[in-house]
Amino acid sequence: MRTNPLPTYRGPRGRIAPPRVGLVLHAGRNAAPKLHPVIRRPAPLSVPDIPPYVSMSNLKTFLVEDSPVIRSNLVAALEDLAPVQVVGYAETAEEACDQLKALDGPGACDLAIVDVFLKAGSGLDVLRCLQGQGSALRRVVLTNYASPEMRAQCLELGAEKVFDKSRDIEALVDYCNQIAAG
């Protein structure tokens, strides 16, 4: 079996390449000068200048969504792509109203994302329930039924925005990023 006497390194594109080798003249005390191989490693890759980190606070978010699959995918997407912390969820309008009233207070919850069609009741009932509260809780609707009439009704009941589940997830993430940035 042959072994490579020179160590290798992984280059910038992942390829394995031998290091550069040079010769150095070295003379010890009372000795004749000799040439010794010297291994020169490539210079470390330079890191580009990175702009200073923009400080964003975690946006405490409550989901009103009855589908466990959609809910878990939405939580993963929001928490991965935006500074969002999901603080709770509800599957029915009554549950959502009760929990959101309990979360009413400074710093408890910043955003409610509401689906229109739920297991019991509707997201419109949740918006009506929250309409009477004088809280700073932002409300948006995320639905598969974002018709012009539904959008108008949601906005009239206090929703800031209406997003379509099939087309507007990126817009929802951008919205969350904007709110978190201040």
Domains of the chain, with CATH numbers? 59-181 (3.40.50.2300)
Residue 127, CB-side half-sphere exposure with 13 Å CA sphere: 26
Residue with tokens 């995918």: 73
CA torsion through residues 19, 23, 26, 32, sign: positive
Q: For 150, phi and psi rounded to 5 degrees?
A: -65, -40
Sign of CA dihedral 105, 109, 114, 118: negative
Q: Residue 34: pLDDT above 70?
A: no
DSSP 55: P
- Answer yes or no: is pLDDT of 182 > 80: no
The token pair at 77 is 């997407």
pLDDT, residue 53, reads: 44
pLDDT, residue 104, reads 77
Question: d(Cα 110, Cα 104) in Å, to the nearest integer?
Answer: 9
Exposed (0-12), middle (13-18) or buried (19+): which is 169, by Cβ within 10 Å?
Answer: middle
Neighbour-count burial for 114-132, b at 16+ CB within 10 Å, e otherwise: bbbebeebbbbbbbebbee
pLDDT of residue 40: 54
The tens digit of pLDDT for each residue in 59-96 reads: 999 999 999 999 999 999 999 999 999 999 999 999 99
For residue 172, what pLDDT band results from cuts at 50, 70 and 90?
very high
Split at pLDDT 50, 70, 90, the class of 50 is very low
d(C-alpha 10, C-alpha 140), whole Å = 49
Give the pTM: 0.68
